[in-house]
Amino acid sequence: MKYLIVGIGNVGSQYELTRHNIGFRILDSLSEKLESRFELDKSAFYSEVKYKGKSLNLIKPSNYVNNSGKSVNYWSKLLKVKEENILVVLDDISIPFGQIRIKKKGSDGGHNGLKSINDYLNTTNYPRLKFGIDNNFRPGQQSNYVLDSFSKEESKLIDIEIERATEIILSFCHIGIDRTMNKYN
């Protein structure tokens, strides 16, 4: 069984520790845990690893958050991964910092990465793991907020929450979306 695990983020050292790049950071942690390495290949950093008899294909799109759908569409078709086995890992401003939710499907909720994926796949029927980054910004400052680094207080807790997110991803691949949602949401 094949899975496509997609971390949303922006390429470049200036974005590395930003809130918008939490999807990349979670996939980096997962890759490290599973002892795999990313290689740049066809508009994404790609890694394949076996986990409990399943093929996990990890991608970090290299064409920025707002155009993530192009990479997801390419890799999902190339690998012939079913929609229900695509898991998109991203930041969410509507969830308090550090809370993590896994959902079967849903709207883009104003997230440009999800909007791009929805447009390219022509569906919203794929799972997503949302990492809460909170919404501590003034009106009109959302872009600056998501492209800023986590606060010192948040940074102290981030590694614990990233580890929990990797556990949720592995659970999704091992026991499925429903049981994972019951266990972690």
- Report the C-alpha gap between 109 and 173 in whole angstroms: 25
CATH of the domain at 179: 3.40.50.1470
Per-residue pLDDT of the chain (185 residues; tens, 9 = 90+): 999 999 999 999 999 999 999 999 999 999 999 999 999 998 999 999 999 999 999 999 999 899 999 999 999 999 999 999 999 999 999 999 989 999 999 998 889 999 999 999 999 999 999 999 999 888 888 999 999 999 999 999 999 999 999 999 999 999 999 999 999 99
The answer to whether 20 is a known catalytic residue is yes
CA 8 to chain centroid, in Å, comes to 5
Please report the pLDDT score of residue 61 as a whole number.
97
**Amino acid identity at 95:** I
Please report the pLDDT score of residue 76 as a whole number.
97
Range of the domain at 129: 2-184
The DSSP secondary structure of 11-33, one letter per residue, reads -SGGGTTBGGGHHHHHHHHHHHH
Q: How many domains does the chain have?
A: 1
Residue of 19, 20, 70, 128 with catalytic role: 20
The DSSP secondary structure of 156-173, one letter per residue, reads HHHHHHHHHHHHHHHHHH
Look up the pTM and report it: 0.95
